[in-house]
Copies of this chain bind each other. A is one copy, B any other.
Amino acid sequence: MMTQNHSNFKRLTTETAITLAKKLGLINSAARLNCKEIGDGNLNYVFHITETDTNKGIIIKQAVPYAKVLGESWPLTLKRAAIEANALIHFRSYCPEFVPQVYYSDERLAITIMEDLSHLKIVRSGLIDGDSFPLLSQHIGEYVAKTAFYTSDYHLEPSVKKEVARHFTNPELCKITEVFIFTDPFFEELPGDFEVELTDAANKIWNDQEVILEVAKLKQSFETEQEALLHGDLHTGSIFASETETKVIDPEFAFYGPVGFDLGQYTANLLFQAVTRDRAGKEEIFTHLHEFWYAFEETYTGLWEGQNKSPFRHVKGYLPYLLTKFKKDAFGFAGCELIRRTIGLSHVADLNVLQDKETKITAKTTTLKLGASLIKKREELDVPAVIELVKQQTLTSYSPL
Contact = CB atoms under 8 A, between A and B. Distances in A.
A212 interface: yes
Nearest to A226: B224
A217 B160 CA distance: 20
A132 interface: no
A217 B163 CA distance: 22
A312 B171 contact: no
Given A220-B153, A315-B209, A158 B171 contact: yes
Nearest to A184: B311
Interface stretch (A59-67, A91-99, A289-297, A316-324): A316-324
Nearest to A172: B159
Interface in A157-189: 158-163, 165-166, 169-172, 174-175, 178, 183, 187
A2 B158 CA distance: 13
A219 B220 CA distance: 19
A385 interface: no
Contacts of A225: 224-226
Given A175-B159, A217-B321, A212 B315 contact: yes
Contacts of A170: 162
A213 interface: yes
B159 A219 contact: no
18 contacts: A1-B160, A2-B159, A153-B220, A158-B178, A163-B169, A166-B166, A209-B316, A212-B312, A212-B315, A213-B316, A213-B321, A216-B312, A219-B312, A223-B226, A224-B225, A224-B227, A225-B226, A226-B226
Contacts of A215: 312
Contacts of A24: none
A318 B213 contact: yes
Contacts of A310: 216
Q: Is the interface of A mostly helix, strand, loop or mixed?
A: helix
Contacts of A158: 171, 174-175, 178, 223
A401 interface: no
Interface residues of A, number: 42
A353 interface: no
Contacts of A165: 169
Contacts of A220: 153
A174 B153 contact: no
A166 to B, nearest CB: 4
A190 interface: yes
Nearest to A2: B159
A223 B153 contact: yes
B171 A159 contact: yes
Contacts of A317: 209, 213
Contacts of A160: 1, 171
A170 B212 CA distance: 34
Interface string A328-355: 0000000000000000000000000000
Nearest to A212: B315
B311 A190 contact: yes
A170 B216 CA distance: 28
Interface string A76-107: 00000000000000000000000000000000
A109 to B, nearest CB: 24
B315 A224 contact: no
Interface in A182-238: 183, 187, 190, 209, 212-213, 215-217, 219-220, 223-227
Given A312-B219, A315-B212, A171 B162 contact: yes
